[in-house]
Amino acid sequence: MTSRLGLPDLGVGVGLRVPHYRHILDSRPAVDFFEVISENFMVPGGKPRYHLSAVCETYPVVQHGVSLGIGNPTAPADDYLDALRKLVDETKTPWVSDHLCWTGVPGTNLHDLLPLPYTQEVVKRVSERAKRVQDRLGVRLLLENTSSYMSHASSTMPEWEFVSAIAEAADIGLLFDVNNVYVSAYNHGFDPSEFVRSVPHERIVQIHLAGHDNLGRYIIDTHGGHVIDPVWELYRETIERTGPVSTLIEWDDRIPEFPVLAAEAERARRVRAEAVAARAALGGRAPARPRMGVPVRGAAVPQHRAWTQGGPREHEGGSP
């Protein structure tokens, strides 16, 4: 089955993380696909490449990067893109994703995903780079909306308009992170439903779902727990508009035992199926539903923690 831009709908997957390697290779769990952090495997040989090769023998794998720096002062380096293209050829990933952000300056990687000014100048610069990167990699590039905790005074448009303009100008896909939409809506005081309704749905090729830490005045996107109910509802609203789209559960901090992660993926599968059915019942139209409204800030919200095994976070060290 194909989804946006002629790319396959892979179903519901999870991130490939070190604490789960043995379980995955021994048990071959019923997972539709795995997502890998590209930079973790852009190394010659060794255990990372061995485990990746073994997983690729059984499962579809998609690559998700954290160091492209599409919005950096300088364009992505040729040696980085060459190494990324080599990995693409080996994994046979149907697309490559990274973040719509900046990550550093020449000679310094800040190991964080930092927000860009939402201006026409940045749209032009980033979209031109995205075109070149997509051509060089030989597969469709997806850029992901990031969570943010500050904004630029120079911005001239809302984030959803900025994201949409780059995707259209560069003819690329979107990795739509529903949790990031909710986090940024909470931190900046906008209606997340407006974000969902305003992006080009035909360009959404993959969706991310994750947990976060609510500290009361703001939310930190930690990928360290269960998806909360408002994010599930925002996901339902997204699928009602897009139809079936490859969906991934991200859990990168305080990593649980694999059955806990698998149960979260199964919930995504149920919600996705219900939303697809609701859309089909209306002949491919999204059901009418009220806007979610601006999330209300309040006292710190206790996070539901149902894991039994911690583990190292496999990310670049900043906000996912």
Question: Domains in the chain, start-ordered, CATH in brackets?
Answer: 4-281 (3.20.20.150)
The closest of 266, 226, 210, 269 to 244, measured between CA atoms, is: 269
Task: Name the percent of the chain lying above pLDDT 90.
Answer: 83
* pLDDT computed for residue 108 by the predictor: 80
* pLDDT computed for residue 173 by the predictor: 98
Return d(Cα 166, Cα 172) in angstroms, integer.
8
Instruction: Give pTM, 2 decimals.
Output: 0.92
pLDDT surpassing 70 at residue 306: no
* pLDDT computed for residue 296 by the predictor: 83
Task: Name the percent of the chain lying above pLDDT 70.
Answer: 92
pLDDT surpassing 80 at residue 314: no
Element at 34 (helix H, strand E): strand 34-37
* pLDDT computed for residue 302 by the predictor: 47
pLDDT band, residue 309 (cuts 50/70/90): very low
pLDDT surpassing 70 at residue 307: no
pLDDT surpassing 80 at residue 25: yes
Read off the tokens for 269. 């599968």
* pLDDT computed for residue 297 by the predictor: 81
Return d(Cα 241, Cα 34) in angstroms, integer.
24
Mean pLDDT of 44-69: 95
* pLDDT computed for residue 299 by the predictor: 52
307-311: long-range contacts (C-beta < 8 A, 24 or more apart)?
A: 307/225, 307/254, 307/255, 307/256, 307/257, 307/260, 308/256, 308/257, 308/260, 309/19, 309/255, 309/256, 309/257, 310/254, 310/255, 311/17, 311/18, 311/19, 311/254, 311/255
* pLDDT computed for residue 43 by the predictor: 87
Sign, Cα dihedral of 180, 182, 187, 189: positive
Per the prediction, the chain carries an average pLDDT of 91
Task: Convert the pLDDT of each residue in 94-136 to its tens digit.
Answer: 999 999 999 988 888 878 889 999 999 999 999 999 999 999 9
